[in-house]
Structure 1
Amino acid sequence: MDNLLILGVNTRPVVNSAKKLDYNIFSSSYFTTLDFPEGICEKHILNEEIDSTCGSFQENFSSQKLLENGKEYLDDADLIVLTSGISSDDFKGEYKKYQKKIIGNKSTKDVGDKYRFYQKISNKFLTPISFLVSEIDEFCEILKEYDDSQFIVKPNQGSGGYNTLLLNYDMFIEDNHMKILIENMINSLGEILLQEYISGINISSSVLSSYSDAKTIINTRLLSLNDLGYSGDYKYCGNILPLDIKSLQVLNNYTIAHDEIGVKNLNTDVSKLSEEVIKECKLIGSNGVDLILSDDSEDDILNNDLYLIEVNPRFQGTYECVEKILSINLLEEHINACNGQLIEEINPKGHGIKEIIYAPHRLKQGNLNIEGLFDISKEGTIIEKDEPLVTIIKESNNVKKGLKEINKLKEEINSNIYPVN
């Protein structure tokens, strides 16, 4: 029986899949939660203690810490699977020799670096205009040149919506606080990405690929906090899947016609584009493609342009919803794809909704061991404002009904959290 090591920010979903397969399982993660599977050899970076703060994820996490945390497992591992927060390119120095054990992409530098990715694909696919900026004067000059446009500012690598700002030239000139934020980002990161803002619906594709072929297994409506009414906050917070009229119609300020043929054509276009991108980037296994369906024409949004935003060369946040809706073991299909065998039949059933709940203020967590909630921290720990609190995952045949049930769960969450100074 092979030893399988799973590395990532939150390995719980993939560990659950691995338990259904024939492996000895090991895990190195940042988080470990009350609902983490029992009987697993695991180490985690964040140690939760009653009446103690969990701190800031961004300040306390790094891929190198993740490798150091799981160092004792690396030699014994026969196979390594990577989830969010780490890539094969992070295996440097003393860890480089373990790259060969990774089931999946051996190099992701062409997609992990967003500007490098833009340079690679911008002449082949429709993409937002992008600039890599390392000086505040250069930043200002670009905004001035495109003074009639809005731009998204974000880190050139990583993100998940963290440190993402929407602005234009006038906002930058008039808002001194904005200038300071941008200067701090440049000083901290060394360089930032300035990307044309495309207004529309965020879409994500889950693609399985071998060295010779790629297959989109499902398209989804991707959610940021901005979609849920937190204007200007673009942190990733979930998905609604599959992509259909029901998932497109909710949370919009414009109407989408009941056009089944139009949505079918949209799915075909999204799937084909995503497969072409994955093959162009020579990625294998389970990968995600993020796009935006522009809302330039609100009268006929299904015929609007699809913009390619980025590729995530790893398992996506939709992991558990995909497994439930398609009745598959996604880890198993990832391994099969890396070995040249792509899944054949795909039969989605119902809808899956995922929403990550972030702490609205600094709080002490009560008892959140409630059905439908996942990634539950220890009771009595302190969660800082804007840090992830808990995940809601809901299956439903009716999207609106599912969202109502999620709102009820939010009420239960709110009654079990307590503000602290």
Structure 2
Amino acid sequence: MPKTNIQTLLVIGIDTVAIAKSATNASYKIYAVDFFGDLDLKRTCFSYKSMVKQKRGKSCGKMKSKLKPEIFLKMAKALLKKHKIDAILLSSGLDDDFEVLNDLNGIVPILGNSPEIIRKVRERRGFFEGLKRLGVEYPVTAIVENVCEAKDVAEKIGYPVVFKPAKGFGGANIRIACNSGEIERAFNQVSQASEDVLVQKLVDGVHASASFLATDDDVKVLTLNEQLMGLRSLYQEEPFGYCGNIVPLKCSGIVMERCEQIVKKVALYFGLKGSNGIDLVISKDGKPYVVEVNPRFQGTLECVEKVIGINLVESHINACLHGSLPTIKKQASIYCTRLILYAPKRVVAPDLTVFPEIRDIPFPETIIEKGEPLCSIITEGKTRDISVLKAKKLAKSIYSLLHPA
């Protein structure tokens, strides 16, 4: 597929604003299929469809009850009946829905990893077996089907352990068990979200991610990122729920080198292509452990672009179609923070268009349910602390504008 033939792109996923804006900045005509249907997405796209229909005085509902991957496919087909689209770019939300990905790829090619490659890195047994063959460290992990198996595994690998759904995103439905008395509760909660449940040794350390670009025979690590998870100050109700990131991660050169070596091994072994992310935990002694691969654009996109000065969608397309990786001219002289704010209670969305740092902007006077995403904040600073402080101050200002619905 020559680049000259790609003029229109369909971005699909739960939150597509950052990808759509990056693609628009690269002069592509953008369509989107999205969960939230936020105001800034409407302003960016030529046309879009969303699961949530935001209206004044109407609730946006709960993501858990509304999110159905097959509806993404239905909405994509509806757009394709009216518009010619050359390729698909993936956001989060479809990583584990292989049938939907196959159907989408059969209609319009997914630019990046094929559904087969996505399956290889997302099916946990095969993925961890691959890491073992590579000699790449990962938290000791087992898949269990019942409480008895969970107790046996936990005793073998040692407490504390983490219970995770085999399928999922955004850190949802993850629980910790610190002793045998907490196993049943943790297993029962997680098994409601997934038939297969992972039991994993808890690695105490810094939650991080690596953003990288890959071709058939080369890999470029763009940034290591600090992940923000389970922040009660942002009213995130999930203990491991995604709350944003700080780019780049402050770490030693040795840790950076170890992470880069791991990323290159994993990317080339599994045949990853284009923009991808790998979630890591870096232990207190500086050892990186691979947690999972996100085989598509990540929530760090805008921060990565600001820190290293590239257009990530353009770079992704060049990597996928031409096997070329960008030259990073800009040194990481700034830090960029993204915070995701959640509703502290059932609230009426204020007009957030007056804040240039706000992304994922809800339509004014729509109702956001307690614990649901409200908006995102993007701030920059010469140091990590300055960037984070700016974001926290703005978050405080936004929360002060909220009124109960």
Q: Which residue of the other structure, out of 2, 8, 28, is the alignment partner of 1:3? A: 8
The aligned counterpart of 1:112 is 122
The aligned counterpart of 2:263 is 274
The aligned counterpart of 2:98 is 89
1:379–1:24 distance in 2 versus 1, CA, 3 Å: closer
Q: What letter matches 1:213 in structure 2?
A: D
Q: Show CA shifts across 1:283-341 (max 9, x none).
A: 0000001111112xxxxx4xx32111111101111100111111111000000111211
1:95–1:325 distance in 2 versus 1, CA, 3 Å: closer
| TM-score normalised by structure 1 residue count | 0.86
Q: Which residue of the other structure, out of 381, 392, 396, is the alignment partner of 2:377? A: 392
1:121, CA displacement in angstroms? 1.1
Q: Which residue of the other structure, out of 135, 139, 150, is the alignment partner of 1:128? A: 139
Q: What letter matches 2:282 in structure 1?
A: L
Q: Distance in 2 between matches of 1:333 and 1:96?
A: 21
Q: Distance in 2 between matches of 1:225 and 1:396?
A: 23
User: 221-230 or 394-403: which moved more?
Assistant: 221-230
The aligned counterpart of 1:98 is 107
Q: Distance in 2 between matches of 1:232 and 1:35?
A: 26
For residue 393 of structure 2, give the secondary structure of its aligned residue in structure 1: helix
Aligned residues: 389
The aligned counterpart of 2:298 is 316
Q: What letter matches 2:173 in structure 1?
A: N
The aligned counterpart of 2:343 is 359
Q: Is the 8 A contact 2:24 2:44 kept in 1?
A: no
Q: Distance in 2 between matches of 1:267 and 1:212?
A: 21
Q: Distance in 2 between matches of 1:324 and 1:412?
A: 24
Q: Is the 8 A contact 1:5 1:73 kept in 2?
A: no
1:188, CA displacement in angstroms? 4.5
The aligned counterpart of 2:324 is 341
Residue ranges of structure 1 left out of the alignment (5+ in a row):
174-178, 246-262, 296-300
The aligned counterpart of 1:46 is 52
- Is 2:389 the counterpart of 1:407? no
| TM-score normalised by structure 2 residue count | 0.89
The aligned counterpart of 1:251 is none
Q: Distance in 2 between matches of 1:154 and 1:322?
A: 28
Q: Distance in 1 between matches of 2:237 and 2:12?
A: 33
Identity across the alignment (%)? 29
Q: Show CA shifts across 1:223-250 (max 9, x none).
A: 11259798971111111111225xxxxx
Q: What letter matches 2:69 in structure 1?
A: S
- Structure 1 stretches of 4+ with a deviation exceeding 6 A read 227-232
For residue 154 of structure 1, give the secondary structure of its aligned residue in structure 2: strand
RMSD: 2.3
1:44, CA displacement in angstroms? 1.2
Q: Distance in 1 between matches of 2:358 and 2:103?
A: 39
Q: Distance in 2 between matches of 1:125 and 1:398?
A: 32
The aligned counterpart of 1:374 is 359
Q: Distance in 2 between matches of 1:335 and 1:196?
A: 37
Q: What letter matches 2:78 in structure 1?
A: E
Q: Distance in 2 between matches of 1:231 and 1:43?
A: 28
Q: Show CA shifts across 1:117-165 (max 9, x none).
A: 112213421111111112222122322444x411111111222110011
Q: Is the 8 A contact 1:243 1:267 kept in 2?
A: no
Q: Distance in 2 between matches of 1:415 and 1:226?
A: 18
Q: Show CA shifts across 1:18-67 (max 9, x none).
A: 22334332111112212223451111111112222211112211221111
1:231–1:92 distance in 2 versus 1, CA, 3 Å: closer
1:161-172 aligned at under 5 Å gives the runs: 161-172=171-182
Q: Which residue of the other structure, out of 210, 215, 219, is the alignment partner of 2:220? A: 215
Q: Distance in 1 between matches of 2:102 and 2:250?
A: 46
